[in-house]
Amino acid sequence: MYFPKSVRLCEVGLRDGLQNEKTLLDAEQKLFLLRGLIDAGFPVIEVGSFMSPKAVPQMKDTDDLFKALGSPAGVELRALVANLRGVQRAIDCGCTKVKLNVSASRQHNLRNINRTPEESVASFAESAELARDNGLEVSGSISMPFASPWEGTTPVEDVDSIIEAYLRVGVSEISLSDASGMAMPAQVNELCRHVREKYPQATWWLHFHNTRGLAMANILAAMDAGMTQFDSSFGGLGGCPFVPGAAGNISSEDVIHMCEGCGIETGIDLVKLMALTVNLKEMLSHSLDSYVLKAGRNEDLLKG
Amino acid sequence: MYFPKSVRLCEVGLRDGLQNEKTLLDAEQKLFLLRGLIDAGFPVIEVGSFMSPKAVPQMKDTDDLFKALGSPAGVELRALVANLRGVQRAIDCGCTKVKLNVSASRQHNLRNINRTPEESVASFAESAELARDNGLEVSGSISMPFASPWEGTTPVEDVDSIIEAYLRVGVSEISLSDASGMAMPAQVNELCRHVREKYPQATWWLHFHNTRGLAMANILAAMDAGMTQFDSSFGGLGGCPFVPGAAGNISSEDVIHMCEGCGIETGIDLVKLMALTVNLKEMLSHSLDSYVLKAGRNEDLLKG
């Protein structure tokens, strides 16, 4: 079993987490949290998305957040975009990295937007070009590359075909996102090995939801296959788009605690993060799904 | 990363789980659950313990449970014992397998019973002999072999020394029990490899608590090191003796679901088990820590 020496974590709570919350945080609260996350040492933070404020009201002030944050040193701030309009908003507010997303489920994609996943990715060409022409970095996410509620297990050929569509539009930083929380460790290990070997020109992110209690096991399985970039969410904020009330993203605190205990560097200050997540909990007025936040770190248990 | 073809699970909810519960279940309720667990196909079940009813009132009727169950085919029923009196009770009620337990923490053991762990295990000699003389199988558990609140990380030499003490009293089926939920996957992988290599005459069980969200990852790390016998608890019943309100044992439903998704046979019917755990939840009148029970199995999510 292989454990890497270090990993890079992207904190996605303010995007994938907050968009599942009923409580709307205002820009001031979000900025407090973002500055705390930067101070805790996250190398990458997903600040928000540039979607229609009507569709996702929680993300309506993403532009203001980027303007207020500017370009802090040592951290990459990224945002999710869906189209040209989103990229233009990103350019206008000083965001320097955008992420596109497509569902690997053919049926899901056809029903939602009447396009195959490959057609969706091909349609990203203009957005990716506009972003790059303005000096922005572009990454691409593939949602449900392991399994989906429509097809069950996603055929590897489908994942390959979507990766190749991304590569054709010049996007080589690719996130595999288990949004439905159906990924299984053996499959994760195998698919990660497969894509790393077949597409050495690409770099990878993994995004696991803890819907069925397997997110940490899946991170281990991905690390064993050589993956080193993972999304996580403070307090485990988030949910499952297909299961109301289910657990959300893997908790950042739990991942960092595991990494510290396995000699894997993250560069993140867990104590600072835990204090910040207590603030988040107060803002949202409900309990959060972080084991370490509830039980404390291993060292907090040591008897003086 | 290595995944075994099959694993054996021992359901420990009725012992390690119930003893953390305020609600006392009566013998009839426990028998209903035990018969359900047997019917679901668990190869091993920890029925209860033979402790003083004053110290552990939840376990006062363990004798009656064994008498009522008799010797059902295809399942091994075991009980935890602490001493000669416990073994005698086991003999008298027809229990055919007992498990002894010692803490790997030197300080914990010295403070609690003024003995080193090795002295404790040596003192088990009479109990083990009485059990064997009466045709009972004997296994031994080592609590906190990874880390404890007293010493932090448990030195490997201490674990070796306790294993050797067990072997000296003729006990070669040994359980490594992370009761404080402090084990880390890298350490689990390493310690499992170490003990398997150093003591090929022994057979092993692993017992993980999900206190800090790492139980499933630790099972994976142990499987990768060749381990194939794991304790789990329906509904994740249990708790942490050191952290009030913390998560308990790894949930049987979650482990079985993971195994099914990774092609690892358990011989257990997950659907039957999930229905039974709903009964358990009603008996205890509180929610349980099983992700799969809350979110459903992967296949429950499939559309049409």
pLDDT, mean of residues A26-31: 98
The pLDDT of residue A75? 98
pTM over 0.95: yes
> Choosing among A106, A208, A262, A274, which should be mutated to test the B contact, i.e. which has the most B CBs within 10 A?
A262
In angstroms, rounded to a whole number, what is the distance separating the alpha carbons of residues B246 and A286?
17
Q: Which amino acid would we find at residue A66?
A: F
A100 CB-near residues (< 8 Å, 6+ apart)? A80, A81, A82, A121, A124, A127, A128, A138, A139, A140, A141, A171
Catalytic residue among A10, A240, A259, A262: A240
The pLDDT of residue A244? 87
Residue A184 Cα distances to A97, A156, A197, angstroms: 30, 14, 20
**Where do the domains of chain B lie?**
8-301
Chain CA centroid to CA B185, Å: 18
Residue A154 Cα distances to A115, A159, A207, B165, angstroms: 17, 7, 16, 51
A240 or B165: whose pLDDT is higher? B165
The pLDDT of residue B23? 94
Contacts of B293 in chain A (CB under 8 A): none
In angstroms, rounded to a whole number, what is the distance separating the alpha carbons of residues A149 and B299?
8
Count CB atoms within 10 A of the CB of residue A55: 11
The answer to whether the complex's ipTM is over 0.95 is yes
Cβ distance B184 to A221 less than 8 Å, yes or no, reads: no
The pLDDT of residue B304? 64
The pLDDT of residue B245? 85
For residue B5, the distance in angstroms to the closest alpha carbon of chain A comes to 12
Contacts of A181 in chain B (CB under 8 A): 295
Cβ distance B181 to A263 less than 8 Å, yes or no, reads: no
Contacts of B242 in chain A (CB under 8 A): 301
In angstroms, rounded to a whole number, what is the distance separating the alpha carbons of residues A149 and B43?
32
The pLDDT of residue A192? 98
Task: Give the pLDDT band of residue A303 (cuts 50, 70, 90).
Answer: confident
For chain B, which ranges sit under pLDDT 70? 304
The pLDDT of residue A304? 66
For residue B30, the distance in angstroms to the closest alpha carbon of chain A comes to 27
User: Is the predicted pLDDT of residue A240 greater than 90, yes or no?
Assistant: no
Contacts of B251 in chain A (CB under 8 A): 213
Contacts of A182 in chain B (CB under 8 A): 298, 301
Residue with the two structure tokens 């994942």:
A159
Nearest CB to B217 within list A216, A240, A242 = A216
Cβ distance B301 to A149 less than 8 Å, yes or no, reads: yes
The pLDDT of residue A243? 87
pLDDT digits (tens, 9 = 90+) for B229-268: 999 999 999 988 888 888 999 999 999 999 999 999 999 9
Cβ distance A302 to B217 less than 8 Å, yes or no, reads: no
The percentage of chain A sitting over the pLDDT mark of 70, rounded to a whole number, equals 100
Spatial CA neighbour of B97 closest among B62, B60, B54: B62
pLDDT, mean of residues A165-194: 98
The pLDDT of residue B240? 86
What integer best gives the mean pLDDT of chain A?
Answer: 97
Residue A86 Cα distances to A45, A59, A251, A297, angstroms: 18, 12, 28, 40
Active site residue B240: yes
User: Is the predicted pLDDT of residue A198 greater than 80, yes or no?
Assistant: yes
The pLDDT of residue A164? 98
pLDDT, mean of residues A83-110: 97
Cβ distance B301 to A185 less than 8 Å, yes or no, reads: no
pLDDT, mean of residues A29-57: 97
Task: Give the pLDDT band of residue A197 (cuts 50, 70, 90).
Answer: very high
CA torsion through residues A256, A260, A266, A268, sign: positive
> CATH assignment of A8-301, given 3.90.79.10, 2.40.110.10, 3.90.226.10, 3.20.20.70?
3.20.20.70
HSE toward the beta carbon, residue A105, CA cutoff 13 A: 23
The pLDDT of residue B57? 94
Cβ distance B258 to A150 less than 8 Å, yes or no, reads: no
